[in-house]
Structure 1
Amino acid sequence: MPPKPAAKPGKKKKKSKEELEEERRQAEEAARLAEEERLRAEEAERQRLAELERQRLELLGQFLAAERESLDAELADLDPLLRQFEHERARARTDASEAADWERFLRCVHVPAPKQRVAVTEFMNRMSAAAKEAESRDMGEAFMACEECRTMILETRQALLEARLSTAAGAGSSGGELKGTPNEWVADFESDLRSLYSVINSRIDRLTAVVLHHGDEYANEKNEIQLGHVAGTFKWGIWVNTAKNPRLKVVEMPSLGVVLDIPKQIALANVALRVQHRWGPGSDEFFGRCGNQWMAVGGVLVVDLLALPPSAKKVRGWTLRQVTPLAANVQRVPYPIPPAGADPLTWQSEEEPPPLGVTAPLPPDVVLLQEPLQVAWWDEQHGIWNTDGVSNVSYDEATNHFSFLTTHLAPLALVMSRTRLLPYKSWHIRPTGGRNGSSAAITLDCGLDSPVVIEVGVRTATLTSPTWPQLQSLLGVAMQPLELLQALSDRGLHVLPEDRDAEVAGVVAKERETEEAMCNDVALLGGAFLLASSRWNQTAAPSEALVRLSEVTDWEEGGRTSPHHVERIFAKEKEDGERRVLVVVQRGAKGVAFSDALDRRETYPRLPGTESVEAVKECGETIWGEVHASVLTLLRGQFRAPGAAESPLALRLAATPESLDLARTTSPLFTATLADTMMALRLFSFS
C-alpha cells in the first residue's frame, strides 16, 4: 500500500479541552490582577490629587485670609476719606434735586415728574380717558395734549437712563413717592413710556376719525380734501381720495414738506392717506423694544391708508351722518389693498405691490453716519426695524430731504446701527484744569474724521468735538452728562451702549459690578493722572477690566496734558521714568491690581490663578495681580509679596506722594461726575 502523506509543515497540534480551560483561567487571573492594579493606581492618583487639592485649599485659605486682612486694613484707612466723599456727594445730589424741582416749577411744567408715582398714575388715567372720548376737532387742543405727553416722555426717558445706570440710586425721589430698587424703577419707567406713546397714538387716531367723519366740511371748491397741521414736533396731514383719478401720480403736503408718489392702486381706492412726521428727541417710540441693531434718526414718518366712513347726506337743509365705529376710531387698510370681499386680516397678495415713493425733510441737527443710507419700516410682528421692500434711498444735501420707495405702509425712518461707533477704537482721559483742577476731557476714537471729546467738570459735561454744524446747539453747553449723551444720540451720534449691543459690536460686556467698581475707582485719578484704554481689555475675563495710566508730575511746567502729549506718552509706553505707563486691572468687585499687560506686549500676560498649588504659591510671591482696595492704596507701592520692599519693580510701580495727595483732594463731585460719564459710555465693556 502507498505510504501516508507527510504532515503539512507548520500545522499545530490541536489543544485539548483541559489546555484551553487552563488558558482561559490564566487570562482571567491576569485580567483580575490588571484590574486590581488599575484600581490601586486610580486610588493612589485620587489620593494624590486629593492631597494636592487639600494643600491648594489650605494655601488658598491662608492666602485669601491674608488678602482679606490687608484689604480690610486698607479700607479702614480709606474709610474717613470715602465717607467724606459720599457726604459731599449726597449733599450735592440733594441740592441738585431741589434746584431741578425749583427750575421745573419756574418753567410751569404741567405734567408730573416721573418719580411722583401717584400723580403719574392720575395723569395717565386722565389722558387715556381723554384720548378715547375726545369729540373736538380742535387740532391745537389735540396736539397740545400730545406735546404734554411728549414732555413727560423726555423726562421719563431720562429717569429711565439714570435708573439703568444706577446714578440716581440713593439720590432721593421727588416728592418722596418713588419706592423700590433701581430695577423696579426701570420697569415702572418702561411701562410709563409705553403708556405715553399709546396715549399719543390714540389721541391722534381719535382726532383723525372725527375729522374724517366730518370730511365734507373740509372739501375745497374742487371737492378735494387735504389738511395739514404742524404743532411743535408733530406734523400731521391727511388726503382723502375723492377724485379717484387714475392719472394722479403725486400727492403734495406742503405744510409737512412731504411729497408722495402714489401707485395707481391707491389713486383708484376709496381711502384716506394719512401722514405723520414725528421728529426731535423722543420721537422713536420703538427704541427700547427694538430686537435688532437699528435705531431711528431724524424722527419717524408714519404713513397709513385709512378706511373712509360713510359719506354725509344733505336732505332738506339737514346734514345726515351715519354713526359707525369709524366715527370714533380709524381703521387701517393694509397695503396692497385687499380685493372686495377678502378678509383684510388674512388675505395676502401673491405679487409684490408697486412701491409708494416718499420724499420728506430731515431735521437740520441730524448727523448721517450710516453708509449707505438705510430706510426701514417698523415690523410690529417681529419687533424690529425691517429694510425689506425699501429701495432707492437717496439724500439731497441742497434741500436736506431724503427720498425712497417702499412697499410697506407703516412707521418709516432713516435708521442707523446702534453700534455704528462701537467698539471704541481707543479712548483716553486727561486733566484739563491744571494742578488741583476739577475737570478732565474724555476723548473717544470712534473711527470718525474727528474724535468725540467730552469735558467733564463738577456735575456737568460739555461737548467740545466734533464741531460739525449739526452739533452747534450742543457745543460748549454745560449739561448733565446723561442729558448730553442722550442729546448726542438723538442727533445720530449714539454713544450710550447697552448690553444688548455687545454681540453686534463684537465684544463681551464686563460684569456689572466689575465695570462700576472700575469706573468709580479710576475716576479718583481723573485730576492727576492720564488714563487710556488697553488693547487687552477684551482679552481679559468679563470679571476683569484694564486701564493704562500715567502720572502727571510736571505741573510747574503746565503739565503734559495736551492731546498730543497723551497720544505720545501712551504710544511710547515707557516702563521707567516720570512719564512711565502702568496697567491697572480691576479684579471683580474685590479690588485692583497691577498687570504687566502693556499694549506693546506680543501676548497677553495673564495674572496668576488659583487652579493649582503652584499657581496659589505664585499668587503670594508676585506683585502682579496682588489685589488692593483702591488705586489710592495700590499706587502707594506697599506690597505683601516677599521681598517687595526692596524690589525695583515695586519702586517703579509706586506713584509719588504728591500725586496721591492731589487725587485725595480732588473734588469728589467732579470724580463722581467723571465716574458716571465713564459708566454711561461703557468704556470698559465696549473697548
Structure 2
Amino acid sequence: MAPKPAGKGKRKKKTKEELEEERRLAEEAARLAEEERLRAEEAERQRLAELERQRLELLEQFLAAERARLDVELDELGPLFRQFEHERVRSRNEALEAAEWERFLRCVRVPAPRQRVEVNEFLLRMNESSREEDSRSLEEAFLTCEDCRTMVLETRQALLETRNRVVGSGGPEEEASRKALESDIRELYAIINARIDRFTAAVLHHCDEYANERNEIQLGHVAGTFKWGVWVNTAKNPRLKVRVGVEGEEGGEVRVVEMPQLDVTLDIPKQIALANVALRVQHRSGPAADEFFWRCGNQWMAVGGVLVVDLLALPPGAKKVRGWTLRQVTALASNVQRVPYPIPPAGADPLTWQSEEEPPPMGVTAPLPPDVVLLQEPLQVAWWDEPHQIWNVDGISNVSYDPATNYVSFHTTHLAPLALVMSRTRLLPYKGWNVRPTGGRNGSSAAITLDCGLEDPIVIEVSTRTATLSSPSWPQLQSLRGVAMPPLDLLQALSDRGLHLLPEDRDAPAAGVKAKERATEEAMCKDLALLGGVFLLASSRWNQTAEPDEALARLSEVVDWEEGGRTQPQHVARIFTKEKEDGERRVLAVMRRGAKGVAFSDALDKREEYPRLPGVESVEAVKACGETIFGEVHASVLSLLRGQFVVPGAADNPLALRLCASAEGLELARTTSPLFTATLAQTMLALRLFSFS
C-alpha cells in the first residue's frame, strides 16, 4: 500500500475565550464603523443644511429684489393699464347695450342668457309645457323647439364669452355664471327632446287617422332646422326587396322608405318592417345641432347635423264600434317608449336581453348642408353611445359620399343619434402661427395666420371689436369670408362648419400637447397683444418643451414704416425662417414665467437643444439667475423691451442692446388702440395658441 501524502496537521480548535475575543473585536469594529458613518452623515447633513440655508437666503434676496423691481414697473405702467381697462370696459358695456337694443328691435321671444330671473321662469314654463301639452299641432310644438334652440344659441355664445374673457377678473361670480349657463344648455336640450317625444306620442296615439291607401302611415314635417318624420307599416305583407351585399356584407330583404320632407331614404331590414313598431327619424342641422358636444368623452364632434333614428312602441290600436272610435289610454298616449334594436323576442326583458348575433344593418342616405367642410379622411359616421358618453364608430359600415349630390350614405346596426363626425383635434396642434400688423403705422388691425397642415393657411384679421376671415377661400366658407363679426362668433361659426378652432383642455391628450396653465396663457396673450400693431409675432418650436407655467413666442419689431413696413406674409416667413440675431429685423424670444411676468429667452427655433433658463435648485443656480439677462423677469413686454436690465454689467453688455426695442416702437405700442389689443388678446386666447402649438 502506497504511503499517504504528506499534508497539514489537524487545525487546532479555538477556545471559547478566543472566539469570544474575536466576536468582541468584530462588534467593536462595527460600532466604530457605525459611529464614523453617523458622523459622516451628520457632517453631510450639516453641509447640505448650510447650502440650503445659503440657497434660501440668496433666493429670498433675489426674489425680494425681483418683487421690488416688478412693483416699480407696475406702478409706472399702472396709469396706462388703468386707462386701457377703462376704455375696454366702457366699450364692452356699450356693446352690450347695443346688442340688447338690437335684440329688442328683433322682438326675440326668449329671455337673454344673463337675465337669470326671466330665464328661470322661461325654463319652468317650458318644462311644464313639455310634460302637459297633448296637442298634435306640429307647428306649435316646433315653434317651442325653435324658441329653445334660439336660447341655446345665445346661451352657448354667452358661455363661450365667459370662458374666453380677458377683460377684468372673473372670480367666484364668473365661475357661478359659467355653471349656470352650462346647466341652462343641458335643460334646454332636455326640453326640446321631451317636447318632441310628447307630440310624437300624441300622433302615434291617433296614428290610425293618418293611414294612406296602402295602409301605411308616413308623416313628415320641417320647421326651421328641425325635420321630423314617422313611418309605421300596418300592412300584413309589406313589399320588400333584396339588398345585395357590399364589401363582404350579407344581403337581405329590406323595405325602402323615402321621406321626401326630410330628404332621407332608409333601407329598413325585414325585422323592423314586419314588427309592430314605429320608426321615427329626426334630422337636426345648423348651429348647436350637436347637443352632445360638451359631454362627449372622446375626441369626436358631429358636423353637418345629427340624424336621430328611433324605434318606438305602438299604443293599442283604436277600435270602431257603432260609429264610435274607442282608444285605450295608456302611458304611451303621453310619452314614447323606445324599442331596442335588435328587437327582443316576445316575452324577453328588453332591458336585459342581448342578441347573440349582429342584427341586419339599416341603410341610410341623407343630405349634408352645403356649408360643411369635410376634413376627415376617410369619412366617418358614428352613433351616440349614451352609457359611455361617446361617439361610437362600431357597427357603422359602407360610408360613402357623393360630392355631386352632397349626400352621405352608410349602414348602421345601431338606431340612435347618428352623425358624420370629425376629430375635434383634426387641426391640432398648430404647426405654426404668426401675427402681423396690417394697419400700417399707428394702425389697429393685425392678421393671425394659422398653419394647420391644410392646403391653405387659416387667416383671421382682427381689428377693434371684430374679426374677419380672410382665408381659406373655400366655397363652404363664402358666407363668412370678409364678414366682420365678434371674434368668438366667427370662431364658433367656423366650428359649426367643421373648422374647429376652439380647443379645450380635454383636447390636449388627443392633440399630443400639454395644456398651459390658464393664468399663464391668458397673461401671455394680453402681453403680446400690446405689440400686435407694431411687432411681428410667431410661434416657438420650444413652447411645448417649456413647463406648463411657461409660454414661449418669438417677435421682431417692424421698423421700416416709411417703406410700407415688411408685414406681408412673405416678409414674415423670411424673417422668422432666417432668425437673424442682429440688425433691424432681428428675432427675439420671450417667455411668460407664470404670474410673475415676462423674460427674454435664448430659445430661438434654430437652437439645436432647448436652452433652459437657470433654476433655483442650488446655490450656484440661484447665483446664475442673478447673473444672466436671459430669464430676468419684468412686469410687461413694454418694460422688458426697454432693455433696462439689472444684472451686473448689463449697461455694457452688447446682448442688452440687441434685446431692446426702439423708443419709437415702444411709443407706438403704448398708443395702440386698447380695444384692438383686447380683441386680439381674446382671439389668441380662444385659439389657445400657447397650449396647442
- Does 2:389 align with 1:397? no
Which residue is 2:82 aligned to?
83
Q: Deviations over 1:595-616 (max 9, x none)?
A: 0000000000000111000000
The correspondence of residues 28-47 of structure 1 with structure 2, limited to 5 A, is 28-47=27-46
Residue 216 (structure 1) aligns with? 208
The amino acid across from 2:458 in the alignment is V
Question: Identity of aligned pairs, percent?
Answer: 79
- 2:117 corresponds to: 118
What's the counterpart of residue 583 of structure 1? Answer: 589
1:639–1:650 CA contact under 8 A, matched in 2: yes
Find the residue that maps to 2:218 and give its secondary structure.
strand
1:626 to 2:618 alignment: no
Q: Which residue of 2 aligns with 1:174?
A: none
Which residue of 2 is the match for residue 183 of structure 1? Answer: 175
State the shift of 1:182 in Å: 1.9
Q: Which has the higher mean CA deviation after the structures are superposed, 633-642 or 343-352?
A: 343-352
Secondary structure at 1:54 match in 2 = helix
Partner Cα separation in structure 1 for residue 13 and residue 98 of structure 2: 109
Which ranges of 4 or more aligned residues in structure 1 deviate by more than 6 Å? 4-7
Q: How far apart are the structure 2 equivalents of 1:432 and 1:28?
A: 85
Distance in structure 2 (CA, Å) of the matches to 1:396 and 1:122: 46
Which residue number in structure 1 is paired with residue 341 of structure 2?
A: 335
Displacement of 1:217 after TM fit? Answer: 1.4
Partner residue in 2 for 1:615 = 621
Equivalent position of 2:313 in the other structure: 307
Deviation at 1:315, TM superposition (A): 1.8
- Match in the other structure for 1:205: 197
CA distance in 1, matches of 2:282, 2:151: 20
The equivalent residue for 1:488 is 494
Q: Give the SS at the match of 2:584.
A: coil
Residue deviations 1:373-431, cap 9 Å, x none?
Answer: 11110000011000111111110111100011000000000000100000000000000
Q: Which moved more, 1:242-251 or 1:486-495?
A: 242-251
1:674 to 675, 680, 685: 680
Specify the code of the residue in structure 2 equivalent to 1:536.
W
Query: How big is the shift at 1:207?
Result: 1.0
Distance apart, 1:233 and its partner CA: 0.2
Who is 1:104 aligned against?
Answer: 103
Write the mapping of 1:359-508 to structure 2, written as runs, cut at 5 A. Answer: 359-508=365-514
After TM superposition, give the deviation of residue 166 of structure 1 in Å.
3.2
Shift of 1:161: 1.2
1:355 pairs with 2:361 = yes
Amino acid at match of 2:487: P
1:643-682 alignment runs, 5 A limit: 643-682=649-688
Q: 1:503, 1:5 → 2: CA distance? A: 82
1:636 is the counterpart of 2:635: no
Number of the residue aligned with 1:137: 136
1:543-602 CA-to-partner distances (Å, cap 9, x unmatched) read 100000000000000000000000000000000000000000000010000000000000
Aligned length: 679
Q: Runs of 5+ in structure 1 lacking a partner?
A: 172-178
CA contact (8 A) 1:245 1:267 kept: no
SS at match of 1:504: helix
Secondary structure of residue in 2 paired with 1:277: strand
**Residues 6/470 of structure 1: CA separation in 2 closer, same or farther (3 Å cut):** closer
Between the aligned partners of 2:259 and 2:237, the Cα distance in structure 1 is 18
The equivalent residue for 1:296 is 302
For the residue of structure 1 that corresponds to 2:315, the secondary structure is coil
Q: Where do 1:181-260 residues align within 5 Å?
A: 181-245=173-237, 247-248=239-240, 249-260=255-266
Deviations 1:268-321 (A, max 9, x none): 111111100000001100000000100000000000011111111222222111
Whether contact under 8 Å (2:166, 2:522) holds in the other structure is no
Deviation at 1:5, TM superposition (A): 7.2
Amino acid at match of 2:207: G
Taking the aligned partners of 2:115 and 2:7, their CA distance within structure 1 comes to 108
- Give, in whole Å, the separation in 2 of the partners of 1:10 and 1:530: 96
Q: In structure 2, which of residues 529, 537, 540 is the aligned counterpart of residue 534 of structure 1? A: 540
The question of whether the paired residues in 2 share the 8 Å contact of 1:169 and 1:182 is answered with no
Q: Is the 8 A contact 2:166 2:681 kept in 1?
A: no
Give per-residue Cα distances to partners, 1:606-659, cap 9 Å, x unaligned: 001110000000100110100000000000000010000110000000000000
Superposed displacement of residue 14, structure 1: 2.6
The residue number in structure 2 matching 1:20 is: 19
> In the TM superposition, what whole-angstrom CA distance separates every residue of 1:151-210 from its partner, at most 9, and x where no partner exists?
000001111111222347669xxxxxxx95222112111111111001100111111111
DSSP 3-state at the match of 1:349: coil
Per-residue CA deviations over 1:335-361 (Å, capped at 9, x if unaligned) read 001111111111111110000000000
- Structure 2 contact 601–631 (Cα < 8 Å) conserved: yes
| Greater shift in the superposed pair: 325-334 or 593-602 | 325-334
SS at match of 2:230: strand
Q: Aligned equivalents of 1:167 and 1:394: distance in 2?
A: 43
Q: 1:11 to 1:96 in 2, by over 3 A?
A: farther
Partner-residue secondary structure (3-state), 1:22: helix
**Alpha-carbon shift at residue 246 of structure 1 (Å):** 5.0
CA apart distance, 1:267: 1.1
Deviation at 1:10, TM superposition (A): 7.3
* Match of residue 48 from structure 2: 49
> Matches of 1:568 and 1:258 in 2, distance apart?
51
Change (3 A) 1:82 1:108: same
Unpaired segments ≥5 residues, structure 2: 241-254
After superposition, residues 582-601 of structure 1 pair within 5 angstroms as 582-601=588-607
Bigger mean CA offset, 161-170 vs 607-616: 161-170
- What's the TM-score, normalizing by structure 2? 0.96
Aligned residue for 1:176? none
The change in CA–CA distance for 1:104 and 1:585 in structure 2 (over 3 A counts) is: same
Q: Secondary structure at the match of 2:295?
A: coil
